[in-house]
Structure 1
Amino acid sequence: MPLAVTAYTATSALGLGLDAHLQALQQQRSGLRPNDFGPASLACWIGRVTAVESTSLPASHAQWDCRNNRLAWLGLNQDSFVARVHSAIHRHGTSRIAVLLGTSTASIGATEEGYRRLEDDCRLPADLYRPAIHNPHSLSAFVASVLDIHGPCQTISTACSSSAKVFACAERLIRLGVVDAAVVGGVDSLCDSVLYGFNALELVSPEPCRPFDAARRGISIGEAAGFALLERADALPEATQQLLGYGESSDAHHMSTPDPNGAGAELALRDVFERAGIAPAQVDYINLHGTASQKNDAMEAALVARLFPSSTRVSSTKGLTGHTLGAAGVIEAAIALLALREGFVPGNAGTRSPDPACTPHFAWRNEARPIRIALSHSFGFGGSNACLAFADTRR
């Protein structure tokens, strides 16, 4: 069932809100910087949201204070998103809206800090002795509290597909009549577990990441917060941007490596084609998962060549934002929606020498062109795959 996207917002290393993201995309200005995060900074590049340090939660929500929830607060307060949600609450009622958010680490950064500062009796220090933040549901519970929403509240943690899968969950709940609208999104903030964990897997690049480059060396990790408001399209005919459908699959090929043939990703794509009622030739633009890891990019380039005509334009924008992990799905959905709204294809940022396996589908620089249907790919660890299809009804 198509859903109207009645509001959305993005906060990342590119800036706060949609205008900052659009400007960075148009200028191909990267938000990556040398790593200056943590007590012992790993030699790599990161996509850091510097405004998090100067952000504080209101006293009424002090129990939720941690980097991840401060980033969520920062993200919620862009693009009049809270006001748009309050309008939806007025239309539907506070118990008829769901909060569905994705994250890969939630507020684990606060837990890391707590363990670094354990008291002599091995207890967490008093300022971090707050059970609300030391669990995976911290983010969703915090956002539901801030927005005063009392409908279903769910946290999805499926690695890099987390905040794409929340769109699918929202569609099911709305179609089945459980709710009338949903706040979806995702937040992941920088923490040592992520930086050193990916480095231990030899996936972190010592230089800014270069998706689909012949000499790519791995990912650059970023942090971000993104949210969208989804409602029934038939009830809001004036809404011009829609979620047409979604596709999901789990290939379980390997814990940290995609199926080299892209079998799981292809299943997700065929699922989105069927649900959205579209053919590959109708897709104008795809925001690729494109992490700049050797195996992901090789798989995805082959998948594009196999399934889409050369008229479909594709690119990765992780060279600008970094890989924002559990927030990647919603941030790249927001970028796809901006491309639809503004009529342009963002260039594949960071690439110097394109991998010879890349076909003419790839847009290496920005291209002005009308886009009616755009896809966003999210392929997570463990073979958790999700694809989203968006449309602009003005075209």
Structure 2
Amino acid sequence: MTPLAIRAYTTTSALGRGLQAHADALSAPRGGLAPNDFSVAPLDCWIGRVAGVEDEPLPPELAEWDCRNNRLAWIALRQDGFAEAMRAARERYGASRVAVLLGTSTASIGATEEGYRRLDHGRMPADLHRPVLHTPHSLASFVAAAFALEGPCLTVATACSSSAKVFANAERMIRLGLVDAAIVGGTDTLCDSVLFGFNSLELVSPEPCRPFDAARSGISIGEAAGFAILERVEAAMDAPLLIGYGEASDAHHMSTPHPEGLGAELALNDALARAGIAPDDVDYINLHGTASQKNDEVEAALVARTFPASTRASSTKGFTGHTLGAAGILEAAITLLSMRDGRVPANLGAETPDPLCGPQMAWRPEAADIRIALSNSFGFGGNNACLAFARAGRHA
């Protein structure tokens, strides 16, 4: 594919607000997980919660959209100069030539949960009787409305791969001439449906998650928001690049990945082929690495059999928790930071490596010249995406 420029990007998670907060935490290394203080009923687990979201309502002109998910999105949109970059893209191309393509798995379901807890004679309470909230499309509609964007507006909800797959949607729309730029990313916030739902599947760990540890005991759920602007390279010559992507679906099981990682391997090979690179060209892989038993063993084996020992790989979910539909954009941003700063993040939390892990795994932070990197997002039910990035000026 013809590479696309990433003119601007930003993210917020339990590590803090904005790119520098994430760079500092990854460098330390310092995680953001803490004991669960969110759910309406006790649940013994650790979560990656963004501080202060409850205390920052949307401005009055956007009050119709006010809920935790859109508040977190609004926080992220207004840092790292991202809102200014969005307005500049609208001025440069026109409101109808900028797409809004966002991923989420829960959208504003937290507001719907609250409404059902406070039903007024069987109806939504008056303060939550806002139809724009109780829909999977709430996030994308909110962002488009807040920035007066009139181009294609799309929500991708493919579980944990959601905000990675939007990069593929953007490439197709720009290549086909439907738009000139795309706002991609996503937001997912903590809610009881997610916490108790994953716990009912016996996937939630009572301790901080330990990706790729031999004694790992499950995932830690987090929340995050992140966004990026994609344009043709000539519009932003000095920007990092999206050089490839791959997508595949296992069609194996409702929740468990294919035991041989066939869908994940298809997505990985598709990304390499579309980028025109070989495994030996990849300097770093940000792994999906949720700390669940099946995901980690499948991904560890895939990396070990595909890449040389010189390729470095790690999961950053030990820092942030698994941010579900926002994991793709959060980890894409972390990957871009790793390229910018020349630093491979640690695989935080792991003490005893799973025997399936190969020499590619970076258990501690490492300095590295990262020219080309991958970011894996393997979703619940076997929906897989892999993104390939290159540092500005380093991909021919």
Give the TM-score, by structure 1 length: 0.98
Q: Which residue of 2 aligns with 1:325?
A: 324
Deviates more, 1:227-236 or 1:319-328: 227-236
Structure 1 gap segments, 5+ residues each: none
Q: Provide the residue aligned with 2:338 in structure 1.
A: 339
Which residue identity does 2:25 align to in structure 1? A
Alignment correspondent of 2:391? 392
Q: Structure 1 residue 197: deviation in Å?
A: 0.3
User: 1:86, CA displacement in angstroms?
Assistant: 1.0
Q: Deviations over 1:274-311 (max 9, x none)?
A: 11111110000000000000000000000001111111
Is 1:64 the equivalent of 2:65? yes
Match of 2:354 in 1: 355
Corresponding residue for 1:34? Answer: 35
Q: Residue 199 of structure 2 corresponds to which residue in structure 1?
A: 199
> Partners in 2 of 1:332 and 1:89 — Cα distance?
26
Residue 52 (1) aligns with residue 53 (2): yes
What amino acid is the match of 2:34? R
* Residues 374 and 388 in structure 2, CA contact (< 8 A), matched pair in contact too: yes
1:109 positional shift: 0.5
Counterparts of 2:177 and 2:185 in 1: how far apart (Å)? Answer: 21
The structural deviation recorded for 1:159 is 0.1
Aligned to 2:70, the other structure's residue is in SS state helix
CA RMSD of aligned residues (A): 0.8
| Separation in 2, partners of 1:347, 1:20 | 16
Structure 1 runs of 4+ off > 6 angstroms? none
- Aligned counterparts of 2:287 and 2:39: Cα–Cα separation in 1: 30
SS of the residue corresponding to residue 132 of structure 2 reads helix
Counterpart of 2:76 in structure 1 is: 75
Is the Cα–Cα contact under 8 Å of residues 238 and 393 in structure 2 kept in the other structure?
A: no
Partner of 1:144: helix, strand, or coil?
Answer: helix
Match of 1:296 in 2: 295
Deviation of 1:98 after TM superposition, in Å, equals: 0.2
Instruction: Report the equivalent of 1:218.
Output: 218
Q: Write the distance in 2 (CA, Å) between the matches of 1:188 and 1:218.
A: 19
Partner in structure 1 of residue 248 of structure 2:
249
Return the alpha-carbon distance in structure 1 between the equivalents of residues 68 and 392 of structure 2: 38
Residue type matched to 1:269 in 2? L
Within 1, Cα distance between the matches of 2:241 and 2:209? 31
What amino acid is aligned across from residue 360 of structure 1 in structure 2?
P
- Partners in 2 of 1:249 and 1:14 — Cα distance? 30
Unaligned runs of 5+ in 2: none
Which whole-Å CA distance do the structure 1 matches of 2:360 and 2:40 have between them?
A: 42
Name the SS for the 2:352 alignment partner: coil
- SS of equivalent residue, structure 1 residue 186: strand
Q: Which residue in 2 is equivalent to 1:379?
A: 378
Distance 2:392 2:67 in 1: 40
In 1, Cα distance between the equivalents of 2:66 and 2:222? 20
Q: In 1, distance between residues paired with 2:92 and 2:274?
A: 28
**Counterpart of 1:98 in 2: which secondary structure?**
strand
Quote the offset at 1:61 in angstroms: 0.7
Separation (CA, whole Å) in 2 of partners of 1:281 and 1:147: 42
Distance 1:81 1:98 in 2: 15
Aligned residues: 393
Amino acid at match of 2:245: Y
- Assess if the C-alpha contact under 8 Å between 2:245 and 2:386 holds in 1: yes
Partner of 1:113: 114
2:294 and 2:67 map into 1 onto residues whose CA distance is 34
Answer yes or no: is 1:104 the counterpart of 2:105: yes
State the identity %. Answer: 70
Equivalent AA in structure 1 for residue 227 of structure 2: F
